[in-house]
């Protein structure tokens, strides 16, 4: 399984002055280790006559754990702790994205080419032939990342501005993994009509629309209506991106265990955007028996309308061979609920319903959380393939193709491949491109 080192820890950096003599650095690392701190990188920042300045990355459980380590380090002779740096905060200072020019300007002639008067001829070309915008502008390579902040990660309704770091993170992944310009759009409104109208008005700026962290059931209606109104792809990532990666993981789990996925009883705990999206895609793949539970009555009705069966938490845990949880409730699944041989995907971030190692110790055949089964494996390649195909929509055939491509690139014993493997995203894009053409939504 692909679990990143320190994935469940808080990352801190200790900036320390260490006496430049044998043994002092060792005493420092020993003090950290004695307090069960997991040491990562040790970097030499500068050398002085008597001391060296170093930065030591330490993975800690929580603030109190950090305090114990800081106290221990402060007590080491020959070591001066200058600063504790939160690397997560540091990487977010000033934001993670910026608009950059692709055209260098070194002379007034360059300005005349990229702006007035030269640009007028390009404007007239597009006026006469609107389809040329795909060639002469960045529209075809831009995706709007739309949120109203009502369902951010497992944090809930924290508002659009508080959700901006997530949107920026999505834009960074778009750029780094597939070269797409992702543009966050924050909306104050929780009114469905306001959101739909606003997106419709700004849609000409973009080649596709990515709906992000919008709470159910509003997200279903917003996506459905925008997909009908616009001639560009619209996808709610919490539904479909998550569903694609879950299906990819299950394809490999089925292969490794020798089971037939379509014959399994699948239990869904939490029938919000992710839970319903997963249900839809699994059924499209051929899964026949889906049972699920949610406290919300309208969510239960939606599962019934899809052909699933509503039960309760004990019913899911007792009857499902495969359990998928997307509730946002850490620790909801207790070890004693796990049945021997179950496959459990506890996908809520940042804290899962049950930690994979606990589920495995309780008898699960496979277990993973949202840090390894991550929709960042899916959405970059899906949008890359859709944009390259000039697709008017993202349909089930494209999503199924993406899931198969991800599954095929997992290493031996892994459910899914690593997020940063460029071959994965290229393969997903190619598969989606082909599926767009085969299903009749491509225009390229």
Which active-site residues does the annotation give?
115, 170
Alpha-carbon distance of 15 to 18, in angstroms, equals 10
Residues ≥6 apart with Cβ < 8 Å to 80: 16, 17, 51
Strands (E), 249-395: 265-269, 289-293, 309-310, 322-325, 343-346, 366-369
Pairwise CA distance, residues 334 & 141, whole Å: 45
Q: Are 418 and 255 in contact (CB under 8 A)?
A: no
CB atoms within 10 A of CB 390: 20
CA–CA distance, 76 with 372 (Å, rounded to integer): 38
Contacts of 71 (CB under 8 A, 6+ apart): none
Distance CA 386, CA 397 (A): 12
Distance of CA 199 to the CA centre of its chain: 22
**Sheet strand arrangement including 79-86:** 38-47, 51-60, 10-19, 79-86
Contact at 8 Å (CB) between 158 and 149?
yes
Q: 10 Å Cβ neighbour count for 297?
A: 9
In 3D, which of 309, 328, 329, 327 has the Cα closest to residue 319? 309
Beta strands in 130-180 (DSSP E): 142-147
Say what angle helices 422-438 and 379-388 make with each other, to 10 degrees. Answer: 50
Query: What angle (nearest 5°) sits at the alpha carbon of residue 431, between those of residues 429 and 435?
Result: 115
Q: What are phi and psi of 392, to 5 degrees?
A: -90, -10
Q: Which helix (H) or strand (E) holds 284?
A: helix 273-285
Handedness of CA 259, 262, 267, 270 (dihedral sign): positive
């Amino acid at each position: 399984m692909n679990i990143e080192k320190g994935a469940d820890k808080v990352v801190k950096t200790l900036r320390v002055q260490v006496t430049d003599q044998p043994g002092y650095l060792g005493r420092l690392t020993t003090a950290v280790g004695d307090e069960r701190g997991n040491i990562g990188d040790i970097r030499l920042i500068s050398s002085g006559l008597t001391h060296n300045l170093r930065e030591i990355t330490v993975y800690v459980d929580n603030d109190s754990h950090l305090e114990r380590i800081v106290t221990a380090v402060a007590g080491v002779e020959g070591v001066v702790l200058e600063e504790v740096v939160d690397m997560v905060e540091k990487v977010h200072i000033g934001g993670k994205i910026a608009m950059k020019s692709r055209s260098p300007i070194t002379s007034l002639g360059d300005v005349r080419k990229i702006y007035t008067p030269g640009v007028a001829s390009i404007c007239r070309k597009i006026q006469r032939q609107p389809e040329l915008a795909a060639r002469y502008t960045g529209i075809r390579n831009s995706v709007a990342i739309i949120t109203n902040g009502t369902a951010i990660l497992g944090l809930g309704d924290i508002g659009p501005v508080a959700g901006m770091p997530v949107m920026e993170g999505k834009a960074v992944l778009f750029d780094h993994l597939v070269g797409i310009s992702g543009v966050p759009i924050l909306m104050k409104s929780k009114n469905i009509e306001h959101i739909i109208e606003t997106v419709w008005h700004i849609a000409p700026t973009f080649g596709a629309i990515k709906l992000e962290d919008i709470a159910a059931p509003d997200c279903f209606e917003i996506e459905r209506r925008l997909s009908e109104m616009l001639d560009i792809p619209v996808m709610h990532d919490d539904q479909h991106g998550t569903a694609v990666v879950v299906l990819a993981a299950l394809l490999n789990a089925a292969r490794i265990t020798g089971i037939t996925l379509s014959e399994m009883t699948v239990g869904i705990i939490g029938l919000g955007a992710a839970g319903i999206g997963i249900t839809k895609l699994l059924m499209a793949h051929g899964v026949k028996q889906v049972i699920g539970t949610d406290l919300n009555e309208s969510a239960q009705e939606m599962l019934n309308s899809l052909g699933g069966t509503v039960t309760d938490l004990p019913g899911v845990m007792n009857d499902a061979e495969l359990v998928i949880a997307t509730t946002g409730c850490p620790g909801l699944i207790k070890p004693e609920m796990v049945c021997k041989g179950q496959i459990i995907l506890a996908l809520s971030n940042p804290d899962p319903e049950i930690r994979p190692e606990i589920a495995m110790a309780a008898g699960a055949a496979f277990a993973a959380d949202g840090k390894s089964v991550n929709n960042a494996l899916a959405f970059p390649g899906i949008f890359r393939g859709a944009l390259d195909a000039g697709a008017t929509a993202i349909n089930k055939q494209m999503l199924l193709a993406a899931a198969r491509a991800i599954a095929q690139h997992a290493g031996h014993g892994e459910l899914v491949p690593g997020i940063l493997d460029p071959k994965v995203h290229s393969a997903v894009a190619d598969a989606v491109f082909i599926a767009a053409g085969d299903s009749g939504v491509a225009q390229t």
